[in-house]
């Protein structure tokens, strides 16, 4: 069975603090894909990053960085110097490579509140 767990339901930080959102996944597929999406108050999910199971290289994009560790089945997301505009719900998701159907398994989501 495939599963994604985001243990942090809500996080509240003050602007300019760094914050890490945790994501742990379970899958038996050897090929799989991991995603992070952001859902602002408007409701639309915005794609942030995709990582395939063969690429454990960490990635940095501006204030965002992602740490993928297969050994611990984790794909954590860090926002450096958080801003009020980062306030949103963040979802981690998994797609097994064997199906190729586009069926994503989502975590429960982490609500991030950045206070000024």
Instruction: Choose which of 1, 28, 42, 57 interacts with other proteins (CB under 8 A).
Output: 42
Q: Read off the tokens for 111.
A: 């609500």
71 binds other proteins (CB under 8 A): no
Question: Which positions ≥6 away from 63 have C-beta within 8 Å?
Answer: 79, 80, 81, 82, 83
Nearest-approach distance from CB 16 to other proteins, in angstroms:
29
Instruction: Choose which of 8, 19, 35, 75 interacts with other proteins (CB under 8 A).
Output: 35
Nearest-approach distance from CB 22 to other proteins, in angstroms:
14
State the Cα–Cα distance between residues 71 and 89, nearest whole angstrom: 26
Question: Which positions ≥6 away from 95 have C-beta within 8 Å?
Answer: 32, 33, 35, 102, 103, 104, 105
Residue 65 vs residues 2, 12, 27, 89: alpha-carbon distances, Å = 24, 19, 23, 17
Window of 19-27, 37-45, 69-77, 80-88 that interacts with other proteins by CB under 8 A: 37-45
9 binds other proteins (CB under 8 A): yes
Scanning residues 43 to 62, which ones bind other proteins (CB under 8 A)? 43-47, 50, 52
70 binds other proteins (CB under 8 A): no
109 binds other proteins (CB under 8 A): yes
């Amino acid at each position: 069975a495939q599963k994604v767990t985001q243990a942090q339901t809500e996080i509240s930080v003050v602007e300019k603090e760094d914050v890490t959102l945790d994501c742990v996944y379970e899958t038996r597929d050897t090929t799989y894909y991991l995603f992070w999406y952001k859902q602002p108050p408007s409701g639309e999910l915005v794609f942030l990053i995709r990582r395939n199971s063969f690429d454990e290289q960490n990635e940095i994009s501006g204030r965002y960085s992602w740490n993928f560790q297969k050994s611990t089945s984790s794909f954590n997301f860090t926002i450096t110097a958080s801003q009020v505009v980062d306030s949103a719900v963040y979802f981690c998701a998994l797609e097994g490579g064997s199906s190729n159907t586009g069926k994503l398994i989502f975590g429960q989501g982490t609500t991030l509140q950045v206070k000024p």
